[in-house]
């Protein structure tokens, strides 16, 4: 391996280590409550390395959102591919969230948590978060379109509206669980989601 290749790989690994640490801290203790000094210390890096890869906390925040977006949408896509039947998908979605909570892997929606902390601090954050919501809605919309085409639901379904309702039911349940730590809100999320589809169930 050449010296240039080693340097490139080393730089990439430092960047990933910093981003891994920042992602964990931002998610668990909050973006506003996490300082760059803590990220430097816990990632085992030096200030020069951090600012070489992420010149500002804002850029690190955007990278964090992109990382969370990739994981969230990847998890959802995997479930949709595995469970083409919507009712089975809803059940699997709830089970996944409950398992992640019990294993201390899920602490609430990372995007809502981030938005609540930064509010309207920077329009770039707002646009990025809006884009995530649009991708999320589109993924659900495409999935429901396939379900309608396969005969699971009536073709009278307003797929765009229904997709938004699914996201609202999901986020409502997650928010109430986050506020109370009561897992009933996660378990009963399935009922809330199923009710959305009742009027469209193909006879």
Condensed to tens digits (0 to 9), the pLDDT of residues 7-57 reads: 434 555 899 999 999 999 999 999 999 999 999 999 999 999 999 999 999
Q: Give 150-197 pLDDT, tens digit per residue.
A: 999 999 999 999 999 999 999 999 999 999 999 999 999 999 999 999
Question: In this structure, is residue 156 part of a structural domain?
Answer: yes
- H helices then E strands: how many in the chain? 10, 0
The number of distinct structural domains making up the chain is: 2
Residues 49 and 72 in one domain: no
Interatomic CA distance for residues 17 and 82, integer angstroms: 32
pLDDT of residue 6: 42
Residues 88 and 45 in one domain: no
pLDDT category of residue 103 using cuts at 50, 70 and 90: very high
Residues 149 and 117 in one domain: yes
Residues 45 and 68 in one domain: no
Q: Which domain holds residue 156?
A: 62-199
Please report, for residues 22, 80, 199, the alpha-carbon distance to residue 60 in angstroms, rounded to integers and kept in the order given.
8, 30, 44
Element holding 203 (H helix, E strand) = none
Strands (E), the chain: none
pLDDT of residue 203: 53
Question: In this structure, is residue 165 part of a structural domain?
Answer: yes
CATH at 43: 1.10.10.60
Q: Give 112-162 pLDDT, tens digit per residue.
A: 989 988 867 788 898 999 999 999 999 999 999 999 999 999 999 999 999
CATH at 178: 1.10.357.10
Residues 81 and 153 in one domain: yes
Residues 36 and 119 in one domain: no
């Amino acid at each position: 391996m050449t010296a240039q290749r080693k340097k490139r790989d080393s730089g990439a690994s430092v960047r990933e280590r910093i981003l891994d640490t920042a992602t964990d801290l931002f998610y668990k203790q909050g973006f506003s409550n996490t300082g760059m000094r803590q990220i430097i210390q816990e990632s085992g890096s030096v200030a020069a390395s951090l600012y070489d890869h992420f010149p500002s906390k804002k850029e690190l925040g955007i990278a964090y959102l992109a990382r969370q977006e990739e994981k969230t949408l990847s998890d959802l896509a995997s479930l949709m591919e595995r469970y083409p039947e919507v009712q089975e998908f809803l059940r699997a979605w709830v089970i996944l969230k409950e398992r992640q909570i019990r294993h201390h892997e899920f602490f609430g929606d990372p995007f809502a948590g981030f938005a609540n902390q930064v509010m309207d601090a920077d329009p770039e954050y707002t646009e990025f978060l809006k884009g995530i919501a649009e991708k999320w809605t589109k993924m659900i919309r495409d999935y429901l379109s396939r379900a309608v085409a396969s005969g699971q639901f009536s073709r009278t379904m307003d797929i765009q509206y229904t997709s938004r309702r699914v996201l609202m039911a999901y986020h409502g349940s997650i928010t109430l669980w986050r506020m109370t730590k009561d897992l009933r809100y996660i378990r009963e999320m399935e009922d809330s989601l199923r009710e959305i589809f009742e009027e469209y169930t193909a006879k």
